[in-house]
């Protein structure tokens, strides 16, 4: 999984690295070193594998700066990206916070920590005992109301504020003898003080998540994708605990820096997406330095159709979508029978929920179908599968089983698991299977179809 | 994912090589213990000999719980070879020792206890509670995480074997 993430983002990372010497843009971008203001952990699971061994997902976040931080920690289920839990976490300078997502007797998942870092609600009476994920946000969306939906998904952490070393919030969240004084009698931590003391967020977080199969002692590690300069609007982004804000819609200013790739530049019909949801070089883009790095604006008069010049709606999540999206995913698979090898890929669309509504019909841009109950929200893809000796099978090659009423080759969820020959390493329920006669090789998925080029 | 699988295969290869090396060492050191080991095996067979599909549920549960606990004690010690002996006949046929060793990675487990055992006919479902520590690759150490681990055991040949898939 991690290798997939790393490969799929490789081009973008390289581009941002090149940008670093040419621009100081207040525009959201992928940070090549994994340091940022927003961390997206692509996948968590507590599902059981074929042997019945349930996974645990252990995550960590590190504050590499000398300022305390307030971070919104959000867990989202993978089918329709509905939130299953969030809280406010306070990291003191150079602090690390860790937590585990484990199976719950509720039938879903819960998050539990042994970490002493301050949270709102207070950790000692909540997270240190374990807090069950909840289904409030997805009951009635038609995708299933059960808590089992909370057993897989992904995690966002959004830095909301930083704290200078001499204010009350910074002092109470700082560890003394290994323990912070979160609820000390003199200055107990609360939303009001955290709001009052807050300064602008500026990044410097990194993290990762490890999927542990406890029964076998094996684990798979993912690094969190980091967004730098997510919000440089000049003030803190602090929201009280209990608020579902901020989200990935809160980037500001609405600008992004995108690296397009060396071999597929804009002049030849590039891969960046436009404000109207099509693919091409667009008027809201300008090039920086060379032909491969693009600065894009997602608000105001620059939101317009590249051909007609007519104004089109830019959506709040566009700036973040622009830096995350790809039109193609390539990676290897191993299905070697002698070693009982299996392969799963995870493909997560962290901003899909801002484009896809519940019900029938077509979203305004990027994705092909709204989330229509058990038909879910399926997007066509084109796949080419190769073995290691250059033999290949090209579409029509189908995932199975196909979603009812959907194109047979499609990705239907927000956090998708693509398995090969039903090996289902992760035991996912948000699953598409690809059957192949090849034992080992590589696969190329094109997301460009149905007039929607990249996702 | 792929790199992880490749890592698995790499580890498998090196484990096989190491295994040969260790096997020699064990043989040299193990002669003095051979008598005790043989005795333990004999006792084990006697203890399990009475377990059949028709045994009372309590008897099945007791034996399964003991063997499930014993298997985990070996894993916690890092004795994968020893744990392999607890596999069912079918599991051993499908998974040779070298492959099993490549798939099982000891080191994180700290404790194990049997939570519950339910037997029906020849199949027993066990829920273990496993406590483990984990060091995050780029972050801190998480200690004492307890999580349920379900297992399936099967009664066969007068004993019970762990079903490994």
C-alpha–C-alpha distance, residues A432 and A412, integer Å: 8
pLDDT of residue A52: 81
Give every strand in the sheet of A399-400, ordered side by side: A344-348, A415-420, A431-434, A399-400
**A61 contacts on B by Cβ (under 8 Å):** 139
Residue B98: domain span: 2-162
C-alpha–C-alpha distance, residues A84 and A147, integer Å: 9
- Cβ neighbours of A121 (radius 10 Å): 13
Least Cα separation, residue A423 to chain B (angstroms):
12
Each residue's pLDDT tens digit, A179-203: 998 988 788 999 999 999 999 999 9
Burial-class residue B93 by CB neighbours within 10 Å (0-12, 13-18, 19+). exposed
Judged by CB atoms closer than 8 Å, whether chains meet at A339 and B145 is answered as no
Judge whether A440 and A334 are in contact, CB under 8 Å.
yes
**A100 contacts on B by Cβ (under 8 Å):** 142, 145, 147
Question: At A138, is the secondary structure helix, strand, or coil?
Answer: coil
Burial-class residue A183 by CB neighbours within 10 Å (0-12, 13-18, 19+). middle
**A60 contacts on B by Cβ (under 8 Å):** 136, 138-140
Alpha helix segments (H runs only) across A301-440: 318-324
Q: Is the pLDDT of residue B38 over 90?
A: no
The residues, any chain, with a CB within 8 Å of residue A280's CB and separated by 6 or more, are A266, A269, A270, A274, A306
Judge whether A380 and A405 are in contact, CB under 8 Å.
no
* B108 interfaces chain A, CB cutoff of 8 Å: yes
* B13 interfaces chain A, CB cutoff of 8 Å: no
CATH at residue B145: 3.10.450.100
* B104 interfaces chain A, CB cutoff of 8 Å: yes
> How many domains is chain B built from?
1
Alpha helix segments (H runs only) across A240-351: 318-324
Across the A:B interface, residue pairs with CB atoms under 8 Å apart total: 132
For residue A257, give the nearest of A448, A18, A455, A447 by alpha carbon.
A18
User: Can you read off the two tokens belonging to residue A423?
Assistant: 């090996």
Interface test with B, best of A33, A60, A331, A385 (most B CBs within 10 A): A60
Name the closest residue on chain A to residue B105, using Cα atoms. Answer: A217
pLDDT of residue A217: 86
pLDDT of residue A285: 58
Judged by CB atoms closer than 8 Å, whether chains meet at A217 and B108 is answered as yes
Least Cα separation, residue B31 to chain A (angstroms):
31
Least Cα separation, residue B117 to chain A (angstroms):
15
Q: Is the N-terminal amide bond of A253 cis, ω within 30° of 0?
A: yes
**B109 contacts on A by Cβ (under 8 Å):** 214, 217
Judged by CB atoms closer than 8 Å, whether chains meet at B2 and A331 is answered as yes
Least Cα separation, residue A312 to chain B (angstroms):
40
pLDDT of residue B91: 95
Q: CA of A166: how far to CAs of A170, A173, A192, A202, in Å?
A: 7, 12, 17, 18
Each residue's pLDDT tens digit, B83-103: 999 999 999 999 999 999 988
Judged by CB atoms closer than 8 Å, whether chains meet at B5 and A56 is answered as no
pLDDT tens for chain A, 455 residues long, are 333 222 222 222 222 222 233 344 688 999 989 999 999 999 999 999 887 888 999 999 999 999 999 999 999 999 999 999 999 999 999 999 999 999 999 999 999 998 999 999 999 899 999 999 999 999 999 999 999 999 999 999 999 999 998 899 999 999 988 899 898 878 899 999 999 999 999 999 999 999 999 988 888 999 999 999 999 877 899 999 999 999 999 999 998 887 764 334 444 444 455 555 544 444 455 555 555 677 778 888 878 766 677 777 889 999 999 889 887 889 999 999 888 899 999 999 999 999 999 999 999 888 989 999 999 999 888 888 898 988 877 654 555 555 554 445 789 999 999 999 999 999 999 999 988 889 999 998 888 654 444 45
Each residue's pLDDT tens digit, B103-142: 898 999 999 999 999 999 999 999 999 999 887 666 567 7
* B93 interfaces chain A, CB cutoff of 8 Å: no
The residues, any chain, with a CB within 8 Å of residue A216's CB and separated by 6 or more, are A51, A53, B103, B104, B105
DSSP A202-227: ---EEEEEEEEETTTTEEEEEEPEEE
Judged by CB atoms closer than 8 Å, whether chains meet at A52 and B151 is answered as yes
pLDDT of residue B31: 29
Helix H or strand E segment including A168: helix A168-173
**A51 contacts on B by Cβ (under 8 Å):** 164-165
pLDDT of residue A257: 85
A-facing residues of B in 26-55 (CB < 8 A) are none
pLDDT of residue B61: 95
The residues, any chain, with a CB within 8 Å of residue A424's CB and separated by 6 or more, are A49, A50, A342, A344, A417, A431, A433
pLDDT of residue A286: 56
Q: What are phi and psi of A45, to 5 degrees?
A: -155, 145
Least Cα separation, residue A92 to chain B (angstroms):
15
Helix H or strand E segment including A25: none
């Amino acid at each position: 999984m991690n290798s997939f993430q790393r490969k799929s983002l490789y081009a973008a990372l390289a581009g941002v690295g090149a940008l670093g010497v040419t621009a100081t843009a207040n525009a959201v971008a992928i940070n090549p070193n994994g340091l940022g203001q927003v961390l997206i952990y692509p996948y968590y699971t507590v599902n059981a594998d074929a042997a019945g061994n349930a996974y645990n997902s252990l995550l960590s976040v590190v504050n590499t700066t000398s300022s305390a931080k307030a971070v919104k920690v959000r867990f989202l289920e993978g089918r329709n990206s509905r939130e299953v839990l969030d809280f406010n976490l306070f990291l003191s300078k150079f602090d690390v916070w860790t937590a585990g997502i484990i199976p719950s007797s509720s039938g879903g998942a819960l998050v539990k920590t042994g970490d002493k870092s301050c949270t709102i609600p207070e950790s000692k009476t909540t997270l240190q005992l374990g807090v069950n994920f909840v289904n409030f946000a997805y009951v009635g969306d038609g995708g299933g109301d059960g808590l089992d939906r909370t057993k897989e998904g992904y995690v966002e952490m959004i830095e909301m504020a930083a704290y200078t070393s001499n204010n009350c919030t910074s002092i109470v969240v700082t560890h003394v003898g290994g323990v912070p004084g979160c609820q000390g009698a003199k200055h107990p931590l609360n939303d009001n003080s955290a709001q009052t003391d807050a300064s602008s967020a500026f990044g410097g977080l990194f993290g990762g998540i490890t999927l542990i199969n406890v029964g076998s002692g094996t684990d798979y590690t993912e690094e969190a994708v980091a967004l730098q300069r997510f919000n440089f609007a000049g003030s803190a982004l602090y929201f009280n605990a209990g608020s579902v804000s901020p989200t990935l819609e809160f980037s500001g200013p609405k600008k992004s820096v995108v690296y397009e790739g060396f071999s597929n530049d804009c002049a030849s019909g590039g891969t960046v997406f436009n404000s109207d949801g099509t693919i091409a070089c667009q008027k809201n883009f300008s090039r920086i330095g060379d032909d491969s790095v693009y600065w894009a604006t997602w608000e105001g008069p620059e939101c317009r159709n590249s051909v007609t010049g007519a104004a089109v709606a830019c959506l709040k999540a566009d700036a973040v979508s622009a830096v995350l999206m790809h039109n193609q995913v390539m990676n290897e698979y191993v299905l070697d029978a002698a070693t009982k090898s299996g392969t799963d890929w995870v493909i997560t669309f962290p901003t899909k929920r801002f484009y896809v509504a519940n019900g029938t019909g077509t979203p305004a841009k990027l994705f092909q179908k709204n989330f229509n109950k058990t038909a879910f929200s399926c997007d066509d893809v084109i796949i080419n599968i190769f073995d290691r000796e250059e033999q290949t099978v090209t579409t029509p090659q189908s995932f199975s089983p196909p979603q009812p009423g959907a194109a047979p080759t499609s990705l239907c969820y927000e956090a998708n698991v693509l398995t090969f020959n039903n090996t289902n390493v992760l035991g996912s329920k948000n699953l598409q299977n690809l059957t192949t006669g090849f034992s080992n090789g590589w696969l190329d998925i094109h997301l460009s179809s149905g007039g929607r080029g990249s996702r | 994912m792929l790199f992880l699988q490749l890592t698995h295969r790499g580890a498998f290869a090196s484990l096989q090589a190491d295994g040969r090396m260790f096997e020699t060492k064990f043989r040299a050191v193990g002669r003095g213990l051979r008598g005790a080991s043989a005795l333990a095996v004999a006792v084990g067979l006697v203890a399990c000999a009475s377990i059949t599909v028709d045994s009372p549920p309590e008897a099945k549960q007791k034996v399964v719980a003991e063997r499930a606990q014993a298997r985990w004690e070996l894993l916690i010690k890092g004795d994968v070879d020893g744990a392999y002996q607890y596999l069912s006949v079918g599991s051993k046929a499908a998974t040779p020792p070298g492959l099993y060793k490549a798939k099982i990675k000891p080191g994180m487990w700290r404790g194990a206890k049997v939570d519950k055992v339910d037997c029906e006919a020849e199949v027993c479902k066990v829920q273990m509670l496993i406590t483990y520590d984990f060091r995050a690759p780029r972050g801190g150490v998480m200690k004492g995480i307890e999580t349920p681990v379900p297992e399936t055991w099967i009664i066969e040949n007068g004993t019970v074997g762990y079903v490994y898939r």
